[in-house]
Structure 1
Amino acid sequence: MTTSPPVLNPRVIALAHYAARAVLERVLARHGVTFQQSVTLRLAAVAEGPVERQHLVDGVVDSLKIEAAEAQAVVDELIASGVLAAQQPSQVRITDAGRQLYETTSAETAPLSARVYDGIPEEELAVAGRVLSLITERANRELAALA
């Protein structure tokens, strides 16, 4: 019995997301970092210098679709752990320890991601990227309409 490849649908997207996230979370757990903390730390790491705390929170809310209070709590956790530092009342910046943590976890996940994507033709990755971006855009629009 042969089975045809699945058509892209919410279940297929979810299975891919959770499988990839599980790989990432295994790496992060070795460093005592949660997925939410990792997303927040990345936003601070790619910023050019200090970032407005509210801008960081908004980025986490937008990325993870969580409440602002939950994102604020994640920022507080990262400040308490020393990987982010408060600067002035409204800004935060990544610390040297935070930069090291970000670089270490990124370096550890890079070969895993490379193996996951290995052998998938560039054209197919480009099509998948366009389709998933369109789905994200539409889902964000539907989410906004529900608010």
Structure 2
Amino acid sequence: MTTTATPVNGRVIALAHHAGRALLEGVLARHGATFHQSVTLRAVVVAGESITCDELVGDVTGSLKTEESVVRGAIEELTAAKLLEEDPSEASRTRLTDAGRELYESTAAETAEISARLYAGIPAEDLAIAGRVLALVTDRANAELART
């Protein structure tokens, strides 16, 4: 496959995002999960598998730039499906159930395989540069959003 130098811009970033998200959503659909649910489960895992509901809502709304009601709906769906539950050691916190952990781990493993194929052959230096550039663009976009 031959690639040509493509300047990074919003369209290029969006096309990459949407192509990757379509692959992820295919994995999630096979497991009966949605994108918002997946991001919510991941946030609980990253938090150490226990987090307050307000922290969880803040994390996911910040990541997805979506309405709080959407995230609270995903939490309710995950709780109803017995993938999240109240942490018995601290009632103000939410944690993964065994089924939630299994869902997260299986979808993460499947998407890791896809990611490995997508990034195969790209030099580590190029990936590092892309990561730095995208982190900077994200920081700047978040700063712009904070001003609005």
Task: Write the mapping of 1:44-63 to structure 2, written as runs, cut at 5 A.
Answer: 44-63=44-63
- In structure 2, the partner of 1:23 is 23
Task: Write the mapping of 1:23-102 to structure 2, written as runs, cut at 5 A.
Answer: 23-87=23-87, 90-102=92-104
- In structure 2, the partner of 1:107 is 109
Q: Which amino acid aligns with 1:38?
A: S
SS at match of 1:85: strand
For structure 1, the residue ranges without an aligned partner over 5 or more in a row are none
| % identity of equivalent residues | 55
For structure 2, the residue ranges without an aligned partner over 5 or more in a row are none
Write the distance in 1 (CA, Å) between the matches of 2:45 and 2:4. Answer: 42
1:4 CA drift (Å):
4.5
Q: TM-score, normalised by structure 2?
A: 0.92
Greater shift in the superposed pair: 93-102 or 45-54: 45-54
1:42 CA drift (Å):
0.6
Which of 117, 120, 140 is 2:119 aligned to? 117
Q: Is this contact kept in 2: 1:51–1:91, CA < 8 A?
A: yes
Which of 135, 138, 147 is 1:136 aligned to? 138
Deviations 1:16-64 (A, max 9, x none): 0000110110000000101110000011123224211100110100110
Moved over 6 A (4+): none
SS at match of 2:103: helix
- In structure 2, the partner of 1:14 is 14
Write the distance in 1 (CA, Å) between the matches of 2:109 and 2:23. Answer: 14
Q: Is this contact kept in 2: 1:28–1:105, CA < 8 A?
A: yes
Write the distance in 2 (CA, Å) between the matches of 1:11 and 1:49. Answer: 35
Write the distance in 1 (CA, Å) between the matches of 2:92 and 2:64. Answer: 22
